[in-house]
Amino acid sequence: DIVMTQSPLSLPVTLGEPASISCRASQSLLHSNGHNLLDWYLQRPGQSPQLLIYLGSNRASGVPDRFSGSVSGTDFTLKISRVEAEDVGVYYCMQALQVPFTFGPGTKVDIK
């Protein structure tokens, strides 16, 4: 199985400031179509997860452009350019390349 790790596991942030979360896969997530099959999800308190980023760097429909994803080999980064109060929650990366799909442990983002 592909193992996903994330850092940090907890991230206190200041409103209006940038934030960054890292995710690493134990093996390449590069599909034969040339895309990295890595997703980012946000689970707000008391809610179900929602898709933020797919294919490593594509924003899902309706996701604000302050969210961006980037890829470097097996390292993936989610960046929030300016944190807003609604961004609080747990962020998960997930490899969508091969079954069993696997999630990172999650990064809990809250406001300082």
| CB of 102 vs other proteins, minimal distance in Å | 7
Residue from 19, 23, 39, 109 touching other proteins (CB under 8 A): that is: 39
Neighbours of 3 (CB within 10 A): 11
- What is the footprint of other proteins within residues 7-36 (CB under 8 A)? 31, 33, 35
Element (H, E) at 70: strand 67-72
* 76 interacts with other proteins by CB under 8 A: no
Nearer to other proteins, 18 or 33 (CB): 33
Binding of other proteins by 48 (CB under 8 A): yes
Question: What letters, b where the CB count within 10 A reaches 16 and e where it falls short, cover 53-64?
Answer: bbbbbebeeebe
